[in-house]
Amino acid sequence: MLPGKILKSLLAGLLLLVVSCLPDPLEVGSVPGAKPEIVVSSQITSDQSLMVFLTRTFGALDANDEKSPQELLSLIAIQDALVIIEGPGGRDTLHLLGNGLYGGDLIPPFKSGERYNLYINSPEFGAVYATTEVKPKVAFDSVEAELSNNGLDDSLAQINFTFQDTPEDNWYMINVQEIQQGDPIEDMLNPKAFTILVPDDDFNGKSYSEGFKVFPRDNKRGDSIAVSLSNISEEYYRFMKLRVDNRFNLIEFLSEPVNYPSNIVGGKGYFNLYVPDVRYFVLR
């Protein structure tokens, strides 16, 4: 079983993949609702476990400010699915870990450049499938995180990092996730994750360095954060580029990606396989 801190960080990262905007509800009656669809998010952990997060689509009338995060998660999490991953070495079935999260170890382990199929069958919501290719892991050469006082009443986390790009075309995602003590479901649903996306157009095959400050501005001394670097596909980069600005609203954060690209046949979301390089810091 994954350590609690890593599992919470992973869940928050997966939840970031189901971001979108909901329209204001219209005051109309007797309008049949759309049939719910399966929404998929996925990630490989550093120990070669695969995590797949399954939720269902929902409308603006299903979620409101009166619902707690626990109620909302229980509303949309899919708990009855058969989840199978198939690759060059055979098939494995993922196990339900709770709250719509399915996980397991693939034997043999994932290999970069190989293609894998995901099959999901839910008695209530139907079947979907997807295919993707494992991206090679790219690790930080160095990464630092500290508080940077901006002269106001609050402080920003300053992140500085360096990594070596590989010769082929690559697209990178850097996530900064605050890890809080308290209710883990609250943390999962309000992760306050900050994401930047970086194509290697200007530094192909070279070392790349960047520094940035993290928003929202609510960090303080002693906060724990996770900083991760992921080498992602071009298609997933485009998917995330459309979605990354909707990360601060709970309802937007959990609602279905209706108008976004997807590789899920019969559903929504994105099945992607990448191994993040994750570093943990306590802000000083």
Q: What percentage of the chain carries pLDDT values higher than 70?
A: 70
Closest to 256 in 3D by CA, of 27, 63, 105, 80 = 63
pTM: 0.77
Distance CA 243, CA 15 (A): 12
More confident residue, 152 or 37: 37
Sheet holding 155-164, edge to edge: 140-149, 155-164, 207-219
HSE (side-chain half, CA atoms, 13 Å) at 247: 25
Distance CA 107, CA 90 (A): 8
What is the domain partition of the chain in residue ranges?
Answer: 4-136+248-275, 140-234
Identify the band that residue 86 occupies on the pLDDT scale cut at 50, 70 and 90: very high
Residue 187 tokens, joined: 């943390």
Distance CA 166, CA 229 (A): 14
pLDDT tens digits, residue range 238-251? 888 877 755 544 44
Q: CATH class for domain 140-234?
A: mainly beta
Most confident of 67-76, 103-112, 225-234: 225-234
Distance CA 158, CA 136 (A): 27
Average per-residue pLDDT in the chain? 79
| Strand locations in 80-199 (E) | 82-87, 90-98, 101-105, 115-122, 126-133, 140-149, 155-164, 171-179, 194-199
Ranking 53-62, 137-146, 236-245 by mean pLDDT, the lowest is: 53-62
Decide: 165 and 208 in contact? Cβ < 8 Å.
yes
Residue 224 tokens, joined: 């724990």
pLDDT for 8 = 58
Distance CA 193, CA 261 (A): 21
Decide: 34 and 23 in contact? Cβ < 8 Å.
no
pLDDT tens digits, residue range 18-30? 444 333 444 555 5
pLDDT for 246 = 57
pLDDT for 152 = 57
Q: Answer whether residue 157 shows pLDDT above 70.
A: yes
Identify the residue whose tokens are 């050469």: 141
- Across the chain, how many H-helices and E-strands are there? 5, 15
